Amino acid sequence: MTNRIELVVTERASFAGGHAFDEVGPYERIKGRARFAVDPGAPAQAGVVDLEHAARDADGLVRFESDFLILKPVDAGRGNRRVFFDYGNRGNARCLQFFNDAPGSNDPRSLGHAGNGFLMRRGYTIAWLGWQADLLPGNNRFLLDVPVAMRDGKPLTGQVRVEYIADAPGKTTFPLSGWVSTRGHPAVSLDTRRASLTRRRYAEDPRIPVPHDQWMFARVEGGSGLDNQGAEFAVVPSDTHIHIPAGFEPGWIYELVYEGKAPLVLGLGHVAVRDYVSFLKHGDRDAAGQQNPVAPAGVRVDKAFAWGRSQTGRCIRDFLHRGFNADAAGRRVFDGVLPHVSGGGLMWLNHRFANGVVPAGQEHEDHFNPADRFPFSYSSSQDHFTGRTDAILKRPDTDPLVLHTQTATEYWQRRGSLVHTDTRGNDLEPPANARVYLWSSSQHFADPLLKKPTRGICQNDLNVVWTSMLFRAMLDALDSWATLGIAPPASRIPRRADGTLVDVETWRRQFPAIPGTATPRGPNRLPRLDFGPDAEKGVLVEPPKVIPGDGYAVLIPAVDADGNDIAGVRAPMVQAPLATYTGWNLRARGFGLGAMHEFTGSTIPLPETPEVAAQTRDPRRSIRERYGDAAGYVAAIEAAARRLVADRLMLEEDVPRCIAAAADWHAPRHQVDLD
């Protein structure tokens, strides 16, 4: 038996009102459902956890289906014959937002959704597919429907662990998954005595039990009362919600361990991506005899690239490590990949009772998530604790080219140094088919359309460094590498050998004593965790046992006198700074004081004049001394941009954009007034 795919098209329409994108011409939208059928016993599906417990059809195949969307040139012959697959993020389309500087949308239709048109002007066929099966409908998310794991006609049951952190007072109820967008595993019993709820102030603090009579498996429903009684609410028993009548205390970590049921076969997400992209790249007609929509007669797809950020950057790494870049016929699926801000993580997907939406472990949030696990690097290395040797890239015949990019946040929160060190923290050179780049002093999520920065529950304004121009250069470099054999720029990473990758004690001696600025305790530690004897089979013991000791080495970039990263690719705003830009931001009082917050970086403005610096005792050189006036700042930004172009890390078309954005001191990202 062979795997089957059928693309059921439900909509085919013009994109962007028929706008012609340079020589490529107009684009069209193709939307529908992809139907899959796979042989659960075939080697191509080996290792998908619980696939043997999925229902089979009359042919012995496991069936599942997913949403898909394609934007392609109307005249396929005028495109560049390349599929650009956007993994999305938690079911959300992202690539137009970051490559085209467009507003975020899961249903791109208008010319506005094309942004600056970069991907279209290059001629890419852009493809999306739902790969995360535990998402719920809403906001036009891309959904994947897979079977529930069953045994003897009954859903499997087992131990489930979830954490909850309230970011505001008055929060009384969470979905069991912790996320409104995500399916939780239903509780087998509503009896709280059969479960454990604990709370703790910080991730590694002792767990404090919450008495069984102070919480319940329930949800709150509200509405209008009768006889002018005003709003009413009801507490309703629910096997998919947790409720604390007194409320969750903001900033505290609540951990629920309970017996759940009906896990989904989430590992089929990797199979879906593999078979979908393989068909677009290699297929002629689908299982129903329909023509491949991106490769009509006389046109073939030459290359397939993938991009994913954060969760889906980890998904790409996991996809490669597990061998899914070889399709069922043994052919290479992706020729090149661009995992962004994944840090050293893999994906928590191919496990029983996994929760695909949960972020990988940060210092405070979901600290014991199993995503960050060996191997961390693309190169072969040895886990010095276990003696095991492994690598993410280990299949030369089908491995793609890799351009891995990460920000300062990944070094602080996502153990990013392990991407290019061994487990003791020694420099490890990326393999010949991979490059790694630090985007210096920038944060995990850098909104290309950011307006005035906010602070939220953090102590500093979020990091405002603009980096979308780097995405465009990375994609052009990947295409040239895969197509013409032109090697991309060398990796730009901090290294132990030259003193630009350091421990926190060294970093503290370097970071300026900025008045009123608190700093982190250190980067997010990576303890050794024991998830039980069946962890490699996808069945985890929760919570994991922390193995005593120092854990894996996690290091951070060295900084200059301004507190900005020395090594890496320095965006124009970092080369010509108006602030100290960090990859970390600390939670404010009442919300987990002092712990680093999720993936948020900081903007700590420079003193505007020498007088302000003297008055505040700020050791950093003032803006006036650096640039003189606004014109001097624009000139510094232009010079920085042109240096990046010369190094093939930025495109010439982005230089005017940088110059225009720098006018008026990069307002509204910065508020500078020297008058």
CA distances from 14 to 72, 86, 97 (A): 10, 20, 20
Lowest mean pLDDT among 68-72, 295-299, 467-471: 295-299
Neighbour tally for 119: CB within 10 Å: 26
Residue 230 pLDDT more than 80? no
Residue range 525-573, pLDDT digits in tens = 999 999 999 888 889 888 899 999 999 999 999 999 999 999 999 999 9
227 confidence band (pLDDT: 50, 70, 90): low
110 confidence band (pLDDT: 50, 70, 90): very high
CA atoms of 570 and 564, how far apart (whole Å):
9
* pLDDT reported for residue 27: 98
Map residue 40 onto helix, strand or coil.
Answer: coil
Instruction: Check whether the bond before 206 is cis (ω within 30° of 0).
Output: no
225 confidence band (pLDDT: 50, 70, 90): low
**Which among 155, 121, 136, 124 has a CA at the least distance from the CA of 91?**
136
Amino acid identity of residue 70, one-letter, is I
Mean predicted confidence (pLDDT) in 107-133: 98
Mean predicted confidence (pLDDT) in 220-245: 86
Residue 370 pLDDT more than 60? yes
Average pLDDT over the chain, rounded to whole? 96
223 confidence band (pLDDT: 50, 70, 90): confident
Close Cβ partners of 543 (under 8 Å, ≥ 6 residues apart): 161, 255, 257, 368
Structure tokens at 97: 């937002």
Please name the helix (run of DSSP H) or strand (run of DSSP E) that holds residue 666, with its range, or none.
helix 655-666
Structure tokens at 127: 């493809």
CA atoms of 350 and 662, how far apart (whole Å):
45
Sign of the C-alpha dihedral, residues 438, 343, 362, 381?
negative
The maximal CA–CA distance of the chain, rounded, in angstroms, is: 81
Residue range 145-204, pLDDT digits in tens = 999 999 999 999 999 999 999 999 999 999 999 999 999 999 999 999 999 999 999 999
Structure tokens at 390: 């492994």
SS (H, E, C) 191-236: CHHHCEEEEECCCCCCCEECCHHHCECEEEEEEECCCCCCEEEEEE
| Spatial contact of 596 and 412, defined as CB atoms under 8 Å apart | yes
226 confidence band (pLDDT: 50, 70, 90): low
Q: Of all residues in the chain, what percent carry a pLDDT higher than 90?
A: 93
Structure tokens at 560: 């200059």
Structure tokens at 190: 């509503």
* pLDDT reported for residue 425: 98
617 confidence band (pLDDT: 50, 70, 90): very high
Residue range 473-498, pLDDT digits in tens = 999 999 999 999 999 999 999 999 99
* Beta partners for residue 488, in sequence order: none
| Spatial contact of 46 and 55, defined as CB atoms under 8 Å apart | no
Residue 373 pLDDT more than 80? yes
Structure tokens at 531: 């998830």
Mean predicted confidence (pLDDT) in 364-380: 95
Residue 1 pLDDT more than 60? no
| Spatial contact of 409 and 583, defined as CB atoms under 8 Å apart | yes
Residue 244 pLDDT more than 80? yes
Structure tokens at 477: 């470099």
The one-character DSSP state at 341 is S
Map residue 361 onto helix, strand or coil.
Answer: coil
* Beta partners for residue 261, in sequence order: 157
| Spatial contact of 135 and 183, defined as CB atoms under 8 Å apart | yes
**Which among 189, 40, 50, 187 has a CA at the least distance from the CA of 534?**
50
Residue range 428-463, pLDDT digits in tens = 999 999 999 999 999 999 999 988 889 999 999 999
Residue 503 pLDDT more than 90? yes
| Spatial contact of 259 and 161, defined as CB atoms under 8 Å apart | no
Mean predicted confidence (pLDDT) in 257-286: 97
Residue range 51-63, pLDDT digits in tens = 999 999 999 999 9
* Beta partners for residue 25, in sequence order: 21
| Spatial contact of 595 and 366, defined as CB atoms under 8 Å apart | no
Mean predicted confidence (pLDDT) in 594-618: 97
Structure tokens at 106: 């899961």
